[in-house]
Structure 1
Amino acid sequence: MDNFAEQIVKRNMTKSEKSKRSAVLVCGVIVTILLTVAAMLMLASPLIAFAGLVFAAGAGYGTYFYVQNTDVEYEYTFTNGELDIDKIIAKKRRKSLVSIDISKFADFGRYEDSSEETDDMTVVIASNNIAQQEYYADFPHEEYGSTRLIFCPNEKMLENINKFLPRALRTR
């Protein structure tokens, strides 16, 4: 029988990320409006008016693109000892972050501030920014070298991960 679990985790924005997003949105709208008004006032020179409208459209699109890209989710897919983590941006684009064989884990447990990363370690964060729910996994990776994954698995995902953990990690 196959062991399969899937989970979507929405990343919660921090206060600074929310205020940055709001500031970019407000400034982007203001710049777009100002460029549009300036272009309309320059109708005597059609080339300058057209350029102003193009810049206004660019500012509007840039603002829209930035605000959309702050909506991030992570998808954890567990299949027979293999954990795949994808980043989903704006519910449109998907980027594979990492694929791991659970049996290769060197360390696994609840993530705490006292859990220190080494200087040569690549840290992959795929969590919802709520510290009480975070777990970590240390493992060697072909592309990233020594890697630490910080993620928020639910109970079903944890059960499946625990089945495939190396024996030394299961007994803790």
Structure 2
Amino acid sequence: MIYWIAENILGGTSMDVFVEQIVKKRNTTKDIAVIVGIILAALILCFVFAIILPALVPILGTLSLFLVAGTIFGAYWLISSMNLEFEYAATNGDLTVDKIIHRRKRKRVINLDSKDIETMEKYKAADHAQKRYDKRINAARDENAEDCWYLTMRHNQFGNILLTFSPDERTLSALKPFIKRQLAVEVFGRDAFRRT
């Protein structure tokens, strides 16, 4: 865990908590099926552009090379866009979740204040199948993994949300002092606030 010690106005020191964690999303069977579909579609289009189009319209032979190249690039772009990572940044009770797409683009998913968290525990999909949320945000490595947690809260922008994520011990420890005391005891046990 990274701590920053900052001088405050009165000359004392305060301790700021800052923890970052990056998790790579695992491909599901649905993701693999989409990748296979993209590859098959690209192969069919390349066949059409490279063999059938020049045979039907011989004057378009040179254009077909550009169409094949564009198809290959488009398939690469779509497949690589499925390579996702999530970054969790916990700073003094604020949790920010960003989605990183193939290390070329970053998008803010949500920013929340830990004191507004209503529930937090290990995630089981069956427990939430029938529940209604205004927004479900999946920022987990794998929703079916044992390290998947969830939290619910009322968010100013999204309403009642369910966030699934895969925090490590450092991230959980950074959030622990800032969530409601009763919730911290429920999640982490009675020793949640003991100093070690």
Gaps of 5+ in 2: 1-14, 187-196
Distance in 1, matches of 2:136 and 2:117, equals 14
Change (3 A) 1:138 1:44: closer
Contact 1:86 1:94 in 2 (8 A): yes
Report the Cα offset of residue 20 of structure 1. 2.5
Q: Which SS does the other structure have where 1:12 is aligned?
A: coil
Alignment partner, residue 119 of structure 1: 132
| Aligned positions, number | 170
Alignment partner, residue 76 of structure 1: 88
TM-score normalized by the length of structure 2? 0.78
Report the Cα offset of residue 151 of structure 1. 0.3
Contact 2:133 2:162 in 1 (8 A): no
Check if 1:25 corresponds to 2:39.
Answer: yes
Alignment partner, residue 168 of structure 1: 182
**Larger RCO, structure (CA 8 Å, separation 6 or more):** 1
- Name the aligned partner's letter for residue 45 of structure 2: V
Contact 2:83 2:101 in 1 (8 A): yes
CA RMSD, aligned part only?
Answer: 2.0
Q: Which SS does the other structure have where 1:13 is aligned?
A: coil
Check if 1:65 corresponds to 2:45.
Answer: no
Distance in 1, matches of 2:89 and 2:163, equals 14
TM-score normalized by the length of structure 1? 0.88
Superposed, 1:5-154 pairs within 5 Å as: 5-38=19-52, 41=55, 44-45=58-59, 48-116=60-128, 118-129=131-142, 130-154=144-168
Gaps of 5+ in 1: none
Q: Which SS does the other structure have where 1:3 is aligned?
A: strand
**Identical counterparts, % of pairs:** 25
Distance in 2, matches of 1:27 and 1:20, equals 10
